[in-house]
Structure 1
Amino acid sequence: MTAPAEQRVRHRRRVTKRRAVIAGLSAFGIAGAAIVTTSMLSTASAASPWPSDTGSKPVSRTIPVSGVHDGGMKKFYGTGALGGDSQDEGQAPLFVLADGATLKNVIIGAPAADGVHCKGSCTLQNVWWLDVGEDAASFKGRSPSAVYTVIGGGAKNAEDKVLQFNGAGTLNVSGFQVQNAGKLVRSCGNCKTQYKRTIMLNDIDVTAPVNSIVGVNQNYGDTATLTKVRIHGDSRKKIKTCVRFEGNNTGKEPKELTPPGPDGRTCKFAASDISYR
Structure 2
Amino acid sequence: MPTNPPTTPPTTPPTTPPTTPPAGSGPPAWPTATGSQAVTATISVSGTYDGGLRRYYGSGDLGTGSQSEDQPPIFELAGGATLQNVILGSPAADGVHCLGACTLKNVWWEDVGEDAATFLGSSSSLVRTVDGGGAKLADDKVFQHNGGGTLIVKNFQVQDFGKLYRSCGNCSTQYGRHVQLQNIWVTPPGDTIVGINPNYGDTATFSGITVHGDSGDVDICTKYTGVTSGEPKETGTGADGTNCIYSSSDITYTG
TM-score using structure 2 length: 0.90
Gaps of 5+ in 2: 1-15, 19-23
* Among 201, 217, 230, the residue aligned to 2:197: 217
In structure 2, what residue type is equivalent to 1:62? T
Contact between 2:17 and 2:85, CA under 8 Å: does it hold in 1?
no
In structure 1, what residue type is equivalent to 2:83? L
Gaps of 5+ in 1: 4-43
Corresponding residue of 1:82: 62
Corresponding residue of 1:200: 180
Corresponding residue of 2:226: 247
- CA distance, structure 1, for counterparts of residue 178 and residue 17 of structure 2: 36
- CA distance, structure 2, for counterparts of residue 2 and residue 248 of structure 1: 39
Query: Are 1:171 and 2:148 matched, yes or no?
Result: no
Alignment of 1:68-147 (within 5 A): 68-147=48-127
Contact between 2:17 and 2:106, CA under 8 Å: does it hold in 1?
no
Contact between 1:65 and 1:95, CA under 8 Å: does it hold in 2?
yes
Corresponding residue of 1:230: 210
- CA distance, structure 2, for counterparts of residue 85 and residue 116 of structure 1: 15
Contact between 2:182 and 2:206, CA under 8 Å: does it hold in 1?
yes
Deviation at 1:207, TM superposition (A): 0.4
**More relative contact order, 1 or 2 (CA 8 Å, 6+ apart):** 2
Corresponding residue of 2:21: none
Structure 2 SS opposite 1:241: strand
- Per-residue CA deviation, residues 197-232 of structure 1 (Å, 9 max, x unaligned), is 010000000001111100000100000000000000
Contact between 1:152 and 1:174, CA under 8 Å: does it hold in 2?
yes
Structure 2 SS opposite 1:219: helix
Larger radius of gyration: 1
- CA distance, structure 2, for counterparts of residue 85 and residue 46 of structure 1: 31
Are the structure 2 counterparts of residues 236 and 172 from structure 1 closer, same or farther at C-alpha, using a change threshold of 3 Å?
closer
- Per-residue CA deviation, residues 12-38 of structure 1 (Å, 9 max, x unaligned), is xxxxxxxxxxxxxxxxxxxxxxxxxxx
- Per-residue CA deviation, residues 251-273 of structure 1 (Å, 9 max, x unaligned), is x1100012x11000000110110
- Per-residue CA deviation, residues 23-82 of structure 1 (Å, 9 max, x unaligned), is xxxxxxxxxxxxxxxxxxxxx654321000000000000000000000000000000000
Alignment of 1:38-57 (within 5 A): 46-57=26-37
Query: Are 1:273 and 2:255 matched, yes or no?
Result: no
Are the structure 2 counterparts of residues 2 and 221 from structure 1 closer, same or farther at C-alpha, using a change threshold of 3 Å?
closer
Deviation at 1:85, TM superposition (A): 1.6
* Among 166, 169, 178, the residue aligned to 1:186: 166
CA RMSD of aligned residues (A): 1.7
TM-score using structure 1 length: 0.83
Contact between 1:120 and 1:146, CA under 8 Å: does it hold in 2?
yes
Are the structure 2 counterparts of residues 236 and 223 from structure 1 closer, same or farther at C-alpha, using a change threshold of 3 Å?
closer
More helix by share: 1
